[in-house]
Amino acid sequence: MMTLRRYLAAHYDLTGISSRIHRSKTWELKAMAFVAALVFVLVVVYHLFYVDLTMDNFVSTSMGLEHMFPMITYFSLVVFLLPLSIMTANAIRMYRCTMARNNGAKIPLRLFFTEAKTFVIHFVSHRNMRQCNDDVHQKRWIRHWLLGMACTMMCAIAFFFLGWLQTDAIYPLYHPQRWLGYLATVVMIYVPLDIVISRIKKREQQHRFSERSDLIFPIMLLLVAVTGIAVHIFRYAELSLACHYTYALHLAITVSLLVIEMPFGKWSHVMYRPLALYFQAVKERAMDEAEVRAEAPLAGETVLKGAQPT
């Protein structure tokens, strides 16, 4: 299953990057390192040429988080929209590969709307993981679901409410900005760490044949959470210079995760898995309706024959 998932992800990818990542054990690391280095370069260029700081002031002057607005807003939009655009293009290719050859049967447009709930249900609930009733898989589903919700929540907040998340304001403990962040951080540290330990020790059956590339995604999520909470701690401890450097590191790790891992790496299953179930549901519904239409004339002929006088 793991091999098939990687093959299909590489097959649907229009850029060819996913194929390189899954074939080479070091290509993914090199791609992420390149993106991270590019982020550091952009941070330096922004401060030296846009903010007009000297290098001495840049490395020694403590600055808050809000000094980068509105540029950081535009940068964040690009960082999120670029992988989403690539994944959308790959989804279209996936549709052409899986739906265009439907045995010549035409699929009514309305079925794509009526079966849209299938995509939403599997995207939100990860329902198929609960089909195994043993305790191991039930616990795995809980961890998987919590991690998915935590990542989705933080991505949504960073995309739509970046000014609310990235701020120099000091909020009380009961403020939603803090406890939502704490909840997401706990999940994004505990679950990836548990996955890494399980893969290293080969505790669970699905982790006994792990490769080095299987560790990249959970480790990157772990680093994003650790650097993110470190920025928060340094900011509230009024260690502005430490916060400044840690935020640059957090930004580099997060951007490389979003730009490389989301559209090309293991994170891409967040789209391919529910989309495959959605397309399959549409095809099955179309086939069922085609069979009903094919049987209707036969049933009508039988009724007419039965009504004829003998």
Average pLDDT over residues 145-164: 93
pLDDT band with cut points at 50, 70 and 90 for residue 209: low
Helices 27-45/213-236 angle, 10° precision: 30
pLDDT band with cut points at 50, 70 and 90 for residue 214: confident
Q: Which residue has the higher pLDDT, 295 or 111?
A: 111
Supply the mean pLDDT for the chain. Answer: 86
pLDDT band with cut points at 50, 70 and 90 for residue 180: very high
Q: Could you tell me the CA-to-CA distances from 295 to 290, 299, 303 in Å, in that order?
A: 9, 6, 13
Residue 298 has pLDDT above 80, yes or no: no
Residue 103 has pLDDT above 90, yes or no: no
Concatenating the DSSP letter of every residue in 147-188 gives HHHHHHHHHHHHHH-HHHHS-S----TTSHHHHHHHHHHHHH
pLDDT at 300: 55
DSSP, collapsed to helix, strand or coil, labels residue 285 as helix
Average pLDDT over residues 64-75: 88
pLDDT at 106: 76
Residue 53 burial by Cβ neighbours in a 10 Å radius (0-12, 13-18, 19+): middle
Neighbours of 308 (CB within 10 A): 6
pLDDT at 4: 74
Distance CA 295, CA 48 (A): 74
pLDDT at 9: 83
243-282 pLDDT tens trace: 989 999 999 999 999 999 999 988 888 889 899 999 989 9
Rg (CA), the chain: 25
Q: What is the pTM of this model?
A: 0.87
pLDDT at 82: 95
Q: Which residues contact 132 (CB under 8 A, 6 or more apart)?
A: 138
Q: Could you tell me the CA-to-CA distances from 234 to 110, 135, 180, 246 in Å, in that order?
A: 53, 40, 18, 9
Q: Report the percentage of the chain scoring pLDDT > 90.
A: 44
First vs last C-alpha separation in the chain: 61
The one-letter amino acid at 221 = L
pLDDT at 160: 94
70-92 pLDDT tens trace: 899 999 999 999 999 999 999 99
pLDDT at 251: 96
Neighbours of 54 (CB within 10 A): 11
pLDDT at 207: 63
Structure tokens at 211: 């490769």
Distance CA 187, CA 203 (A): 20
Q: Report the percentage of the chain scoring pLDDT > 70.
A: 87
pLDDT at 89: 93
